[in-house]
Each structure stands twice: as C-alpha cells, then as structure tokens.
Amino acid sequence: MSAEQPATPTAKRWSQRVLLIGWDAADWKMIEPLIERGELPNLARFLDEGIMGNVASLRPMLSPILWTSIATGKHADKHGILGFAEPDPHADGIRPVTSTSRRCKALWNIISDAGMKAGVVNWFASHPTEPINGFVVSDRYPTAVGPLDEEWPAVQHSVHPAALLEPACRLRVHPAMVNPRQLKEFLPTLGSWDATTDKHVAELRGLLAQCATVHMAATWLMQEQEWDFCGVYYDAIDRFAHGFMEFHPPRMEHVEPEAFERYREVMTACYRFHDMMLGRQMELAGDDATIILLSDHGFHCDELRPAGSSAIDANPVAWHRQHGIVALRGPCIKKDERLYGASLLDIAPTVLMLLGLPVARDMDGQPLRQVLSTDISSVRIPRIPTYDTEEAAAPIVDYREDPWANEQMLAQLEALGYIERSSGKQRERIVLDRERNLGQVFSSTDRPSEALQCYDKVLAAEPDDVGTKMAKAMCHLQLRDYDACEAVAREVLDAEDDAPRAQLIMGIIAFHRGNVTESLAHLRAAERDNPELPGLHRQIGSVYLRRRRWKDAERNFARAIELNPHDPEAYDGLGVAYRRQRRSAEAVEQHMRSISLLHYRPTTHVHLGLALAEVGQFDWAIRAFHVALELNPMLTLAHRCLAQLYERAKDDPERAAEHRRYAVRSRNGRAAQQVD
C-alpha cells in the first residue's frame, strides 16, 4: 500500500457490507407500471425501504465502457476499456476486452487492498480473474457451448480462487436445460405453434440459461464466501430488450400480429424474473447490508421506440436512453425518497464512502452523500490523491490467452451485432472504433481538442465517414471555431442531398454568430428533412428565445420534450420561456425537472435561482446561485444576483459587497457567460 494511503479507514463505516447489483438497460419506464400492477413485489419493497432516482449515463453508451467506469469511478480515457473488443497484443487479430487492459484499480482491487473481502461476478472486462482477497467469476464463465450431452469445458482463469472453478462449473445452466414450463412464463401461447425451429425461442433459451448461470454462481458465493463488497452484473435485460422489445405492447407498425401475440409478454416476464432474483439476493445480503441497484442506461419501451427492429445492427445504441435507474436500500440509507443528480461515475466513490474508505481525488465522480439518513454536513469523507500508485493487480504469471474461449466470446459478440468479423480487416476496424469511442469520451467531457485528434485519425483511414465528420464539426463548435465547423458541415451538405444534421450544425453556427434569421432557415431545412432529429426543436426554441418570441420558444421546447422526455436542456429552456412570460412558478418546476435529470449544469441552477427569486423564495434562490458557483465559480451573473439578494432580501451588505467583488473579478478574468 502506498505511503500516501491510510493503513486503515479514517472515516465512519456506514455499512457492514455493500452489494452492488447491475441490471444492464433497466428502465423506470418499464418498472413503474409493473410495480403499480403488483408484478414486482421485491423491488417494490426495496424502493419503499430506500431511495431511488435516475442516473445519468456516459458517452458512448457501450456496456464494457460504462460498467468499467462504474467500477472505477473514472472516464474511459483513464481506465482504458474502449469497447467490446481490442487488438490482440500477441497475434494479428482481436480479442474480447480483458482485465489486463484496465489501467486503474476497480472497486474489488481497492477494497481487497484495504484488507476487506471483495467479490465480483460476471463484470465486463474481468477476465482473466485477478488474485484479490475474495472471489472473482469472470465474464467468460457463463457462456454455454455445444450440445448438452457434450463436455462443456471450463475456461481457465475464469474463477478465483482456482479451487472454486470446478464446483462453480457444476452450477452452470445449459440452454438445453431450460424446459417448456419455464419458457411458458415468457411465452404464454407456447404450444400453439411449432417452436422447434423458432429462432426467438432458441435465443430465449440461451438468454435464460446464461442469466440463471450468473445468478446461481452469485448466490452460491454470497452464501459460501465471506464478503464486505460484492458486485454482480446481469446483462439479460439489455439482451432481452434487443431481442424482444419490438414485440412489447403497443404493437409497432413493422411487427406482424402473429409475432406480436407470441412474444408480447417476454419483456414483462424478464423483469419479473429479475425481481425474483432480487428477492433472493436481498435475503442473502441481510438487513445489515446496503444494496445498490443500478443500470448503465435505459431502454426505449414506448412510443419513443425507434422505427424498425430492436435487434442490434449498425447502431447498437439507437434504443438506449440516456438515463438509467439507481436505487439504494440499507440501514444508513434514507427511506422512500428520491435521489437527484446521480451519475454512473458516482457509484464507486459512494461504495467507498459506505465502507469507510477514502475517495481518490483522481476519480471523476463524487460520493452520493445525500443518500445517507444522517445530516450530510456531519459526514466526513477522507480523500487521497489516487489508488493507482501501484499496479492495479499482480498479473497472473501462468496466464495464456485461450484461443477457444476467445473464439466463443467473439462469436457471441458478432451474433449480438457488436463486432463484425466477416469482411476482413477486423483489427483495423476495432482500432478505428476505439478511436471513435475515445473521441466521444473526450467531446462529452469538454475536451474537444483531444477529441479532434481521435476523429482525424479515423477520417485519415475512412475519409467518407459522415458520422465522424459530424462529430468533428461539433468539436469545432465546442471550441467556438465557427469557420472550421462550417467547413466540415458544408462538406457534408455538398456531398449529401439529405443532410439534416449538417443543417442543424449550420443553424447553430449562425445562431452563435448572431444571425438568427439565417439560423432559423437552416433549422427549418433540417426540420423538413428530419422533424424528429435529436436536439433540433431545442435549438429552434433557443433561437426564438434570442428573438424574444417566448410563445414560439415554449412551443418548440415542449415539442423537444415530447420527442425526448428526458432532455434536461429542453426543460431548462422551457423554464426560461415561462419565466419570460411571467409564469415563474411554472418555470421553477421546469428547471427542477432539468436539474433532476442533469445536476452538473451550472446555468440551469442560475435559471432556477432567477425564477425562485421572482416568486419570493429568496433563501432557495440564494442556495441555487451558490450551487451554480460550486459548479462554475466564474459565473458573473450568479455573483451579481447574490449581491442583490444579500443586499435587498437579507440585509447583509458585507456579503453583497463580497459578491460584487467576485463579479468584477470573474468579468475581468474571462468573458461573462451568456445566460438567458
């Protein structure tokens, strides 16, 4: 252990044990109606006894990246997992992502190093297993191969300690073991048609078997092994959704009535199955444990489902929603309350807080202190610079890549549509995909210059890649290099007759240049080509705000919300439109909705403060402006508003003068940020 790190925890240990359960792609929009109908009794009890909310996902919304960020508290440029596959360093090909490619410690490493017992089951990029103080079942363990009457080989280094490999393998469930009675829970009309050659039935068997295998291993280890932390990852909801969400009611236009009747209950049954598994894990964890239930993103299940099949094809994230679920239950956790402003990056710091361990300053998230049932002002959370002053884990000395296991995993990823191997040049394709993904990480974390370097590498190899060109244009937009942005957008417009995204970018450029008439013309052109283009109506609303056409702005922000009910910027814009029409109470509601979806946006807190001040809620307005300044100390308007509130509402001239001084400094130090 590094000299910088304390030998023992120096903060209160809030929970004796922490169980982190990952449900990939779980979504409140599916869950809440099922709870109301009484179909998820265990989850209903969990929520009654705990706290729940949305959790903001990250870009790109690819599971290996997201779940590694969850386990490390860091963005992908730090942890190094950039997709489902990676170049094989020992051969001219590719391999599934591995634990050896992760460049920083995960929760199980940190907790193990602190002298506690840690366990993890089926987590992405957990193979080969690392020699921790506890147990690991890697993501190569549960995939079945071959007929039932043939040997199902154990994957070496898929279970730690090695002595647990043989008994763990006896728990595996083969798809052929899933019987018709079990299938009928998902397919009530099974038996009324010939299912022997039905590819959906075969897919369902495989998904149930793999999910059951993970659950069997997890519950066995939870009973037989000691643990202070246990993380269990289930990918079944995401995989079920890609296979069957298009059949979920109401019937989509492309789905044949016969297929709809066969498969319409699969997704509901999938959630019931997970509720049953949750009930068993709650029982095994005990009342002294804190349980965190989490998804990495949501999944469209209603009228917002994209047209066409939910099966993964060229765009595996088309059906994903930006917000997943998060819920916590335990002796130190608030009960029956809502959680706001959570990010996937906050989960690892929160686990460390609950176990009384320091949080590293190089983690990109923050502990969710607000979940605790005590006064958070009394919560002391020690900090250290990093946990990565040593190697994340000692490499397994005798580890060699298992070609058979790699091939099975790659074949599964190809069948799911996440990688493509059939047309050759697979290594080059994976390298470029990783650059694209890294570019998204940089651009989504306000590092456009670094993102441009990634996108230029991609375009050097694939100069006609329109998606990467648009991503590059947005980076120039972030840098306010409008000439460079326009050059890229015009290149796309010249090459394509139908280029709504390029028209949208041209509209944004004109807006920032102050030419609102030209901006609106481009945006209307984009609307003609694709009226449901993400972000379009929000941008049109912003143009109307600039033109002081408040009702037109209101209408377009409302349309943006109709298309995407989880767009925080659209709610914020709608709030501004309401406030400008002297509907400040309604404005407060919209800004609060925006903040509940995206806490880390300082301008929204400023807008909320302005609306609260107008309805006479001065104390809350002051708090809103202070939160904005915590996120961005250089917001001149926030300082000016605080100066006025402290002087006129609080009769505190000293603090008013202090904020006036800060306002002058921020104005002189940088250009004042524009806030409508």
Calculate ∠ Cα 50-56-61, nearest 5°: 125
> Residue 656 sits in a domain of what CATH number?
1.25.40.10
CA dihedral 86, 88, 94, 98 (to 10 degrees): -50
Which residues are CB-contacts of 471 (< 8 A; sequence separation ≥ 6)?
436, 439, 440, 443, 451, 455
Q: Does 344 map to a domain?
A: yes
Instruction: Say whether both 459 and 375 belong to one domain.
Output: no
Instruction: Say whether both 357 and 450 belong to one domain.
Output: no
Distance CA 272, CA 12 (A): 37
How high is the pLDDT of residue 392?
A: 44
Instruction: Say whether both 432 and 378 belong to one domain.
Output: no
Instruction: Say whether both 367 and 428 belong to one domain.
Output: no
**Residue 137 contacts residue 159 (beta carbons within 8 Å):** yes
b or e along 360-388 (b: 16 or more beta carbons within 10 Å of the residue's beta carbon)? beebbbbbbeebbeeeeeeeebeebeebb
| pLDDT tens figures, 131-185 | 999 999 999 999 877 777 777 888 899 999 999 999 999 999 999 999 999 999 9
Boundary residue ending a domain (479, 512, 545): 512
How high is the pLDDT of residue 669?
A: 63
Tell me what the mean pLDDT of segment 7-19 comes to. Answer: 79
Distance CA 458, CA 469 (A): 9
Distance CA 150, CA 607 (A): 65
Q: Does 440 map to a domain?
A: yes
| pLDDT tens figures, 364-414 | 999 999 999 988 777 889 999 999 986 544 444 445 555 545 556 566 666
Instruction: Say whether both 375 and 426 belong to one domain.
Output: no
Question: For residue 362, what are the domain limits?
Answer: 17-91+106-384
**Structurally, how many domains does the chain consist of?**
3
Q: Does 444 map to a domain?
A: yes
Instruction: Say whether both 497 and 368 belong to one domain.
Output: no
Instruction: Say whether both 311 and 428 belong to one domain.
Output: no
How high is the pLDDT of residue 145?
A: 72
pTM summary value: 0.88
Would strands 134-137 and 118-121 be described as parallel, antiparallel, or unpaired?
parallel
What average pLDDT does the chain have? 91
Q: Does 317 map to a domain?
A: yes
Q: Is residue 89 helix, strand or coil?
A: coil
Q: Bridge-partner residues for 383, per DSSP?
A: 359
Distance CA 326, CA 244 (A): 24
Instruction: Say whether both 292 and 214 belong to one domain.
Output: yes
Distance CA 248, CA 260 (A): 8
> Residue 270 sits in a domain of what CATH number?
3.40.720.10
Distance CA 208, CA 597 (A): 33
3-state secondary structure string, 291-334? EEEECCCEECCCCCCCCCCCCCCCCCCCCEECEEEEEEECCCEC
Distance CA 194, CA 25 (A): 31
Q: Bridge-partner residues for 372, per DSSP?
A: 333
Is the previous residue joined to 6 through a cis bond, with omega within 30 degrees of 0?
Answer: no
Q: Does 9 map to a domain?
A: no
Instruction: Say whether both 362 and 447 belong to one domain.
Output: no
Tell me what the mean pLDDT of segment 90-119 comes to. Answer: 93
Tell me what the mean pLDDT of segment 47-69 comes to. Answer: 95
Which residues are CB-contacts of 315 (< 8 A; sequence separation ≥ 6)?
none
Q: Alpha helices of 176-324 — where are they, by DSSP H?
A: 180-184, 199-224, 236-244, 257-263, 266-285
How high is the pLDDT of residue 90?
A: 74
Q: Find how far residue 650's CA is from the centre of its chain.
A: 41
Q: Find how far residue 335's CA is from the centre of its chain.
A: 24
Q: Does 8 map to a domain?
A: no
Boundary residue ending a domain (327, 356, 384): 384
Instruction: Say whether both 364 and 241 belong to one domain.
Output: yes
Boundary residue ending a domain (369, 384, 399): 384
Instruction: Say whether both 433 and 357 belong to one domain.
Output: no
Q: Does 445 map to a domain?
A: yes
Give the helix, strand, coil percentages of the chain, each rounded to 5: 50, 10, 40
Instruction: Say whether both 134 and 225 belong to one domain.
Output: yes
Q: Does 518 map to a domain?
A: no
